Amino acid sequence: MPSVQMINTIFFDFYNTLVRFWPPLPQIQHAACQNLGIRVPPERLARGYAIADLYFNEENHRLPLGERDADDRDAFFARYEQIILEESGVAVSLRMAKQIWDMAIAVPKELVEFEETRPVLAELKARGYRLAVLTNLRRDMDELTRQLGIHEYLEFCITGREVGEKPATAIFEAGLKRMAVPPHQAMHVGDQPRSDVQGARDAGLYPVLIDRGGFHADVAGCDHINSLEGLYPVLDRLQTC
């Protein structure tokens, strides 16, 4: 991992790090599968999502979804859904996968923060850490963080649409420039081994993988936490190094 001095800045990924969908995506998938007579436990679907997200990030890095035509996006999401189910122990055709995906995506849902998000951000800010978000989401993050009630804890949000998506180093470098800090004084926390861990490491930041389901225990070169509260012992250890 990159060498560190006193960490004073923490960047966060957004989706699956600070926020999630509600209803939870595995729950939505479970209902869609049941409607088609497919039985699969929600806990298996949670693992399926974690593995399929690796495919999502690899493919999105190769060719961003926003640059694909409608047919290519349909094929992408059919395969994404197929991987979710394969990793959950259910084999389906791409045609069936697309049908399940269309049912699941039609369910109304909203982004909500994880239960510990606001208390942890408040505590970190109170301890003097500077906090910001680096995300590949193509959303109005200022409006979204205000709606979620976490805007007051963050100095800014930078999206991939502005400077290029993770794991490319440009978004990390943009964050460092805005904060006016060197890489070895900054940490990045995210849920994706490639876009968050590898991207942060390549840019010289200290990477922390938040792995809520324990699906990426084999990822090396970073600290692992299973909730945002796990940052406290990591930071305490680094401050005494």
Instruction: Note the pLDDT tens digit of each residue in 173-182.
Output: 999 999 999 9
The CA distance from 53 to 49, in Å, is: 6
Report long-range pairs for 34-37 (Cβ below 8 Å, ≥24 apart). Answer: 35/103, 36/96, 36/99, 36/100, 36/103
What are 79-107's pLDDT values in tens digits? 999 999 999 999 999 999 999 999 999 99
Return the domain boundaries, the chain.
9-20+111-239, 24-108
In this chain, the answer to whether the domains covering 9-20+111-239 and 24-108 adopt an identical fold is no
What is the secondary structure of 121-155 as a DSSP string? Answer: HHHHHHTT-EEEEEE---S-HHHHHHHHT-GGG-S
Measured in whole angstroms, how far is the alpha carbon of residue 107 from the centre of its chain? 21
Note the pLDDT of residue 1. Answer: 63
132: phi then psi, degrees, rounded to nearest 5: -155, 170
> What class does CATH assign to 24-108?
mainly alpha
Flag the least confident range among 132-136, 145-149, 159-163, 228-232: 159-163
pLDDT tens per residue, range 34-84: 999 999 998 999 999 999 999 999 998 889 888 899 999 999 999 999 999
Record the pTM.
0.94
pLDDT band at 5 (very low <50, low <70, confident <90, very high): low
The angle subtended at Cα 104 by Cα 217 and Cα 149, nearest 5°, is: 70
Q: List the structure tokens of 209.
A: 């993988």
Q: In this structure, which topology does domain 9-20+111-239 adopt according to CATH?
A: Rossmann fold (3.40.50)
* Partners of 159 in beta bridges: 135
Give residue 239's pLDDT band: very low, low, confident or very high (50, 70, 90): confident
pLDDT of residue 4: 57
* Residue 225: its H or E element: strand 223-225
